[in-house]
A and B are shown apart, each in its own frame.
Chain A
Amino acid sequence: MTRAIDNAERREYTASGIMTREQVLDLDFLDARGKLIEIAAFLDRVERAKGQDDFRVKAFRQAARELNGSKKRRAEKVLLAFSDPTTTPIPAATTKAACGAWPGRPN
């Protein structure tokens, strides 16, 4: 049976493929900067529009907090902030689509 990848193998692969911090910034800083401004503009647009926040905006603000400070594994934590954390199957599927945020999260 195939075993799961152990941490030593992960470290070995990572060490061979990694760039310096300066190289990462040279490659991706402008792209990430542009995406951050898009997020700021999106929140401005939402707040300019008439109506109330719904669960999606609330989840978005919660997820955005995961970007702060020196936290690690930010992408995973942002995904978790949008996720349904329950473990029991729902009684029936009444739609096929997902909307991107779990409506059951408390405020």
Chain B
Amino acid sequence: MKYIEPHAHMVSRVTDDYQRMALAGCEAICEPAFWAGFDRSSPAGFHDYFCQLTEHEPKRAAKFGIAHFCWLCINPKESEDVNLAGDVIALIPQFLDRPNVLGIGEIGLNKNSRNEVKVLEMHVDLAARFDQLILVHTPHLEDKLKGTRLILDVLKSDRRIKPERVIVDHVEEHTVKAVLDRGHWAGMTLYPETKCTPARAIDILENFGNEQLWMNSACDWGVSDPLAVPKTALEMKRRGHRAAAIEQLIFRNPKKFLSQSPNFKLPAA
């Protein structure tokens, strides 16, 4: 069963994970820039990270026949310092023409603060100026509802942003409708405790249709499962979903959205 992992933080994973994902049918991995678990002390730290995402990580993936793509930004967890964020955002244009860069992400909010909103607006402006796709992170747990509403308002207020070129990730039952109703794509993240389980993700699919949804593991340095997408595909099969519907969710949908970037090219079959 071939699939695309549209959101995984592979810099935090061991090489065995690449092997297991390749064995499970993974054709491509997309890696948004994220928080390292600690705050970086300078823009230079981000410069090195962007080099890692655009130079080193594609080579690790290629050893297992997996295409590697990435998104660039300063993550919302490091957005409280607006001056640092401005310096990091100024670095990004020099990386945008690298062949595996898909767009700006994962941008968004974490604690829904004024500075986070300001930095989100700066990222949205960057994406608009350089005609980039956007991948949005929505906050965790009790902050998700409010954060999603604020993010949707920021996206709507910038008239240069086309809704179908934005994926809003980590949706749950209380946020998915608002995202889809605005014309955006929605990502369901299969992550223990804080996001969706496979069963709930399939419930959302059955309630909201499969036209503009995808699934991802968002595997990172926390307790998470790089095989969450193929495991959920098996759960769909167990619940009687047709093979074509499963393939649409785990392969054709992410391919359709990501192909809006000229850099997204899968290896020839």
- Residues in chain A within 8 A of chain B (CB atoms): 1-5, 9-10, 12-14, 16-19, 23, 27-28, 73, 75-76, 79-80, 82-87, 89-102
Taking CB atoms, residues of chain A closer than 8 Å to B208 are: 5, 10
CB neighbors of A among B226-269 (8 A) = 238-242, 245
Mark interface residues in B131-164 (1 if CB within 8 Å of A CB, else 0): 0000000011111111001100000000000111
Taking CB atoms, residues of chain B closer than 8 Å to A85 are: 145-146
CB within 8 Å for A98 and B140 given contacts A2-B163, A19-B240: yes
- Cβ B206 vs Cβ A17 within 8 A: yes
- Residues in chain B within 8 A of chain A (CB atoms): 35, 77, 80, 110-117, 139-146, 149-150, 162-164, 172-174, 180-183, 194, 199-200, 203, 205-212, 238-242, 245
Among A2, A94, A100, A101: residue with most chain B CB under 10 A: A2
Task: Give Cα A38–Cα B48 distance, bound, in whole angstroms.
Answer: 45
Closest to B235 in A: A27
Closest to A13 in B: B209
- Cβ A4 vs Cβ B183 within 8 A: yes
Q: Binding site of A, secondary structure by majority: helix, strand, loop or mixed?
A: loop
Q: How far is the CB of B33 from chain A (nearest CB, A)?
A: 16
- Cβ A93 vs Cβ B146 within 8 A: no
- Cβ B146 vs Cβ A84 within 8 A: yes
Taking CB atoms, residues of chain B closer than 8 Å to A87 are: 146, 149-150
Closest to B118 in A: A89
- 27 A-B contact pairs sorted by A residue (CB < 8 Å): A2-B183, A4-B183, A5-B208, A10-B207, A10-B208, A12-B209, A13-B245, A17-B242, A27-B238, A79-B144, A84-B112, A86-B146, A87-B149, A89-B112, A89-B113, A89-B116, A90-B112, A90-B114, A93-B115, A94-B111, A96-B35, A96-B111, A97-B140, A98-B139, A100-B141, A100-B142, A101-B142
